[in-house]
Structure 1
Amino acid sequence: MLILVLASCHLWSQAVGVHEAPAPGDLANFAPYEVLPEVAAFACADAELTEIMVRFVRSDGTMDLDAKYVPYATYSFLCPTVADPDLPVGAGGGGTLRTSIIRVGAPGYIHQTSTGSSGPNTKIRVKHRGMIEMSTDLADEEDREDVVPPPTCSPTQLWEQVEGLPSNAVAVISYDDHGYNFSVEDTEIRQAFDFSCKAGRERTAKQKARDAKKELKDKEKEERKK
């Protein structure tokens, strides 16, 4: 069900069940790692972190979410679902896992895909207050191999180790089970860091095998969506 509203000469749609809330912290000086507890609690109870990606973080480790170049952060979690006592184990009675991808940015509108019980998927324009669950999907126990602890290397610690950065640059930083990746768009600057904040890293045999398995699972998910 969609509710269509005409406001300020903009036609937008608010989907019933959209999971959104005000962005935590200071929008002009947003600290993406410091608000992790609030974002995790918004995703679900007992959320397990698998990835953080921040776009356009400044050298002091903060972001201006209101800037015209559209900075934002995405947080990926695994969430346990509640077991249904009326169902047998194997059919929902034992509980399951799902993924939850949360986006934090300036309040406004964003496009999402609405899946109906019949007919094709429909793209809808959703109004949000800064923090919104972008997508959720089924997961399994193997996905727990991707779970990581909260990041211990601040953006500033990584920034200080990268040479040749313009003073007014903003960086893209991702954090996952491999460590950290730091880059600046429109430049050749690319740097990987390990979990101890040390520049450079090599994938272990276990990580390579896990990456291959994950790539295969992602392909299978895409095939099921077709």
Structure 2
Amino acid sequence: MMNYMSKRSSLIIFILVSCLAVLPFSSCTLNRPGNSHRIPGNKREFNPAASYEKVHKFAGKNTELVSITAYMVKSDGTMDFKAEYNTAAIYTFYRPVQIEDVKKGGPLGSGIKEVKRSYTAEKVIVSVSKPHFYTETINNGEPTTIYDPGMNKYSAFNNDDYSGDIIDPPALTFDRLWNPALRRGIPADAVAVITCDKKGYTFRINDTDINFLFDGDGELLEE
């Protein structure tokens, strides 16, 4: 059993909690071979919308987009993973599956019964964040220093119905969503939290009253 002792940002801890929250009625895989990769693009100017195809390929075959949340997006639509503040882009996907998981029971008299569970969905989360080193201890052994290259994939099987949440890939880059905020006098060096989901694009800036909703074409609906 792994005992994670990493010094990761609170954003990445949140992602792990989100993935594991579906337990014990699901199966979750973390940090197995192939589940980590270097950031696609410039660490100083990562474009969460323009990088979608590479992230989608990393998520795996037959995955469909549910949402993207990008934290600390600059007015040019990019993110700086070398900045002092915490920033991350979180991509959530869904993949339909048909899986039966069987946990064998113990010998007669042990009271441990066989458990069968069936799953119809797989939730796949790809997080892109600042590359860093962290320490991990396995089976109470010696701590091991591991390099996280920045893009990680987490998945969990469940029986949720995501069919009504599937959306198309982003049709625009996030700099276009900044115009109303800039017209209100928000400085160009501010950073925003942008979410793309079935509602459209949500744009907000912490510590201000800026909270906009755009449709899928980038037209302002609410402010």
The verdict on a shared fold, with TM-score over 0.5 as the criterion, is yes
From the two aligned structures, give the one with the greater helix fraction. Answer: 1
Asked whether 1:17 is paired with 2:41, we answer no
| Map 1:152-163 → 2, pairs under 5 A | 152-162=171-181, 163=184
Aligned equivalents of 1:105, 1:26: Cα separation in 2 = 12
4+ residue runs of structure 1 moved beyond 3 angstroms? 1-5, 80-84, 109-112
Asked whether 1:144 is paired with 2:163, we answer yes
TM, length-normalised to structure 2: 0.68
Q: Label 1:140 to 1:189 Cα distance change in 2 as closer, same or farther (>3 A).
A: same
Are the counterparts in 1 of residues 43 and 81 from structure 2 also a CA contact under 8 Å? yes
Match of 2:130? 106
1:129 to 142, 149, 154: 149
Match of 1:60? 76
1:34 to 50, 60, 64: 50
Q: What is the CA-CA distance between 1:178 and the residue it aligns to?
A: 0.5
Question: 2:177 is paired with a residue of what secondary structure?
Answer: helix
Q: Deviations over 1:99-136 (max 9, x none)?
A: 01111011125799x9x9xxxxxxxx974210012x42
From the two aligned structures, give the one with the greater strand fraction. Answer: 2
Aligned equivalents of 1:52, 1:187: Cα separation in 2 = 22
Are the counterparts in 2 of residues 44 and 79 from structure 1 also a CA contact under 8 Å? no
Q: Label 1:151 to 1:109 Cα distance change in 2 as closer, same or farther (>3 A).
A: same
Question: 2:209 is paired with a residue of what secondary structure?
Answer: coil
Q: Which amino acid letter does the alignment assign opposite residue 142 of structure 1?
A: D
Q: What is the CA-CA distance between 1:79 and the residue it aligns to?
A: 2.2
Q: What is the CA-CA distance between 1:80 and the residue it aligns to?
A: 3.8
TM, length-normalised to structure 1: 0.67
Q: Deviations over 1:26-45 (max 9, x none)?
A: 11110111111111111111
Match of 1:178? 199
Match of 2:220? 199
Q: What is the CA-CA distance between 1:153 and the residue it aligns to?
A: 2.9
**Greater relative contact order, per chain length (Cα 8 Å cut-off, separation 6+):** 2
Q: What is the CA-CA distance between 1:82 and the residue it aligns to?
A: 7.1
Aligned equivalents of 2:47, 2:128: Cα separation in 1 = 11
Aligned equivalents of 1:34, 1:82: Cα separation in 2 = 32
The CA RMSD measured in Å over matched residues stands at 3.4
